[in-house]
Amino acid sequence: MSQNLPDPDAGLRASLKKHQLFASSLLALMAGLTVVGYVLPPSHATELLRDAAKAGFIGGVADWFAVTALFRHPLGLPIPHTAILPAQKERLGHALGRFVANHVATEADIRKLLANLDSPAILRRFLSDSAATRPLAEALAGMLPKLLASIEDGRARRLLARFLPKLVGGRAAGVVVARALGGLVAGGRHQEVFSFILAQLKETLAAREETLSSAIKERVSQHGGKIVGWALGGTVAKRVLVAVNQELEHVAPDSSEMRDAFDEWVRAEIGKLETDPARAAELGRAMQGVLAHDTIKAWAWDVWARLRRALELDAANPHGRSVTVIESALHGLAEVLEKDEAAKARVNAAVESIVLRALPAAQAGGAEFIGRVVGAWDAATITDKLELRVGKDLQYIRVNGTLVGFFLGAAINLGLLLAGR
């Protein structure tokens, strides 16, 4: 069974009724004293009481009429220029909206509010809360397929073809490659690459042993003659291949001199790339030439297509890496906002700039909204809301009018009495 909601204005309503009762009781008192003034035997005191009460009654009725005319028609009579507020509710709403926009939400007020508002702390608390950042990360990841779909492949390819060579060309590319190689060397990965190359070379020698042997025999015959080639060609070829395999076996151990020399050479080249602008620029030009090759371009477009499909599939998965990466980035931003004062200053400046740029439109929209809301209220609603909030003070106007009329009537009576004497 449904229950009526409590009246939020119950306190205001009770206070208004109490003050209305007091003002009306004072007015009734003036009416009663006026009647008493006519009933009592004639005397100067009776005349004074009658004139004072009569003036008080008239003053109270006049103020009651004025106060009532603001909200409704007195006694229900359609007297012109009464029920002013309900009749002018639209104009009142627009005036109220303009007042709020121009005098309450001013630029100076907004600047003071933003100066006392720690925007970075608010943003940091939001980004540190997993309950908030997880849905945000899922929403951002969900936007990736639409974002990628909005990028025309042909346009993306043209942009890559235009900017990628510029990015990898010049000294900066050499420095980036040097740093990347430095990371590989620091982790010992370059030796793994070296071992892989050696293994591939040994496999190639084993698979092409007959071909290589024939090539060596042919070379011996060309330089020593057919007889020497026939007599020594096979032996020379076998010894060459055995020597090569033995050298490869010597290089294989981790502590070999060849590996140490390779390590020293790689580190020296990395140092040159980082310190020698000419060497870095040379590498950049070489990379630029490689990327300009049609085969590399085709490979890059294939990588782009595969990457796009992978991103689209992963973004659709709420437990995918895209969501995890975005969520981690949001948490990382929270850590930055906690420690970096410059980042905090940039956030405050950005918030102030955005709010102040949007302020004129917000003021206009707020004024229009207030005017529309107040104008849409029915007459009974606006009368009730306004009377509850200002009606208490207006009852004091009735009280003051009654008392002022009473004392003014008494003063006039005494003045006339003294003048007659």
Give the model's confidence band at 217: pLDDT under 50 very low, under 70 low, under 90 confident, else very high.
low
pLDDT of residue 202: 67
3-state secondary structure of 236: helix
Question: Which tokens belong to 307?
Answer: 């990457």
Amino acid at 246: Q
Write down the H helix ranges in 72-188: 84-87, 89-99, 107-115, 119-128, 130-150, 153-168, 171-186
Question: Which tokens belong to 106?
Answer: 């001013």
Cα–Cα distance for residue pair 370/368, rounded to 1 Å: 6
Q: How far is CA 333 from CA 120, 171, 288, 338, in A?
A: 10, 31, 35, 9
pLDDT of residue 212: 66
Cα–Cα distance for residue pair 419/421, rounded to 1 Å: 5
Mean pLDDT (whole number) for 360-387: 76
Write down the H helix ranges in 208-340: 209-224, 226-251, 257-275, 277-291, 294-315, 321-339
**Phi/psi of residue 327, nearest 5 degrees:** -65, -40
Cα–Cα distance for residue pair 83/394, rounded to 1 Å: 15
Query: Which residues, 6 or more positions from 30, have their beta carbon under 8 angstroms from its beta carbon?
Result: 53, 54, 56, 57, 60, 402, 405, 406
Choice among 61-75, 214-228, 389-403 with the minimum mean pLDDT: 214-228
Most confident range (mean pLDDT) of 50-64, 182-196, 309-323, 350-364 is: 50-64
**pLDDT averaged over every residue in the chain:** 76
Tally the C-alpha atoms within 13 A of residue 222's C-alpha that lie toward its C-beta: 6
Q: What is the pLDDT of residues 188-210, one digit of tens each?
A: 665 666 666 666 666 776 776 67
Give the model's confidence band at 2: pLDDT under 50 very low, under 70 low, under 90 confident, else very high.
very low
Cα–Cα distance for residue pair 261/257, rounded to 1 Å: 6
**Residue among 16, 10, 11 at smallest CA distance from 393:** 16
- Contact between 330 and 136 (Cβ < 8 Å): yes
Give the model's confidence band at 258: pLDDT under 50 very low, under 70 low, under 90 confident, else very high.
low
Choice among 152-156, 208-212, 273-277 with the minimum mean pLDDT: 152-156
Cα–Cα distance for residue pair 237/205, rounded to 1 Å: 13
Query: Which residues, 6 or more positions from 72, have their beta carbon under 8 angstroms from its beta carbon?
Result: 82, 83, 86, 383
Cα–Cα distance for residue pair 322/47, rounded to 1 Å: 95
Q: What is the pLDDT of residues 267-276, one digit of tens each?
A: 777 777 667 7
- Contact between 72 and 86 (Cβ < 8 Å): yes
Element (H, E) at 80: none
Give the model's confidence band at 30: pLDDT under 50 very low, under 70 low, under 90 confident, else very high.
very high
* pTM score over 0.75: no
Q: What letter would DSSP give residue 75? A: G
Give the residue, 256 or 70, on which the prediction is more confident: 70
pLDDT score of 59 more than 80: yes
Give the model's confidence band at 221: pLDDT under 50 very low, under 70 low, under 90 confident, else very high.
low
Going from N- to C-terminal start, the domains of the chain cover 10-87+378-420, 143-293
Write down the H helix ranges in 276-293: 277-291
pLDDT of residue 368: 80
Q: How far is CA 191 from CA 197, 205, 212, 252, 413, in A?
A: 10, 21, 28, 10, 120
